[in-house]
A and B are shown apart, each in its own frame.
Chain A
């Protein structure tokens, strides 16, 4: 599916540009897009390096294990493939916590680390496991308590109450998170049924 979407965006864009006479803009966008991607990754170096270092210290101190143990009863239902006390659970939870508090740049390294552990649990396959899809769904639609960037933009435009969208954001993102969990489960059940039929 990702191949189709990728090729689709490129081909539709190129054909549309040909018909619409925006080929010059498209040519330029190829290079700005590539440049933007590299800029993002270079920016990620500092963040990834710092947080991966700190996470290693947290792991060595046994904090990740303790965190995993604490919320195990709830997390076990969301990620049934992950064994108790496994470091993957600690990374997943650190990633979720960072997301909830709107610390976007801290969430990414922990998410990647969690994915790495989940891949190891899945026998190093190049295929996304059930838990990986769940983690991804939870990342795209996660409960947000403090939308820091949004609040600062509202402040700079002279809002009378820049934080009055916090309550609506909490409610809306909470619904999104519940929705994401349900959709994830539905797709998983559909997949499981297909596989049973094959056998």
Chain B
């Protein structure tokens, strides 16, 4: 496992080295090519701003009003009935909406219950195995100007649900 962790530290430097080495070998004008590609970065980041402002304001309003907590409170009994602990419900609901919000909740659960508790491990697995669907949707589609999203949101949220159920089942089998 430490092997896997150190792999992720080495991966980016290795990738950069490999790309530059192969390109130099093939006589690509590396620096000039880099600059011409990098030029797009600024305008791309700026073009995402309106999409992300719209989405985050809606999410923040929903959360600050207390409606989010009320929703979690209403769903907790149903979910704990199927074996999902009530403590984990806010994290599961926050995960697709806000990356930093979910990270905060996961850190809180780890601090309160201890990293090696059942809840602590479940929170870690849940955090690691799903992603911020709304953010990805907003940023990816916003950057290239996709207005009609088709089934993307439905598919993304259902996939999150599968990930959550899988996390609960796997953690209860391995550590339960």
Contacts and interface: CB of A to CB of B under 8 A. Distances in A.
Interface in B113-142: 114-116, 120-121, 124-133, 136-137, 139-141
Interface string A110-150: 01100110010000001110001101110111101111111
B22 interface: yes
Given A13-B58, A17-B65, A168-B174, A127 B147 contact: yes
A84 to B, nearest CB: 21
B65 A16 contact: yes
B100 to A, nearest CB: 8
Chain B: interface secondary structure? helix
A80 interface: no
Nearest to B37: A56
A176 B5 CA distance: 22
Contacts, number: 353
Interface in B127-161: 127-133, 136-137, 139-141, 143-156, 158-160
Interface of B: 1-2, 4-5, 7-8, 11-12, 16, 19-20, 22-23, 26, 28, 30, 33-38, 40-42, 44-46, 48-49, 52-67, 70, 96, 100, 103, 106-107, 110-111, 114-116, 120-121, 124-133, 136-137, 139-141, 143-156, 158-160, 162-163, 166-167, 169-171, 174-175
Interface of A: 1-2, 5-6, 9-10, 12-14, 16-17, 20, 22, 25-26, 28-30, 32-34, 36-38, 40-42, 44-63, 101-103, 106, 108-109, 111-112, 115-116, 119, 126-128, 132-133, 135-137, 139-142, 144-151, 153-154, 157-169, 171-173, 175-176, 179-180, 183-184, 187-188, 191
15 contacts: A13-B62, A20-B65, A22-B64, A25-B65, A34-B53, A38-B52, A101-B8, A119-B146, A127-B150, A140-B160, A141-B129, A153-B103, A168-B175, A180-B159, A183-B158
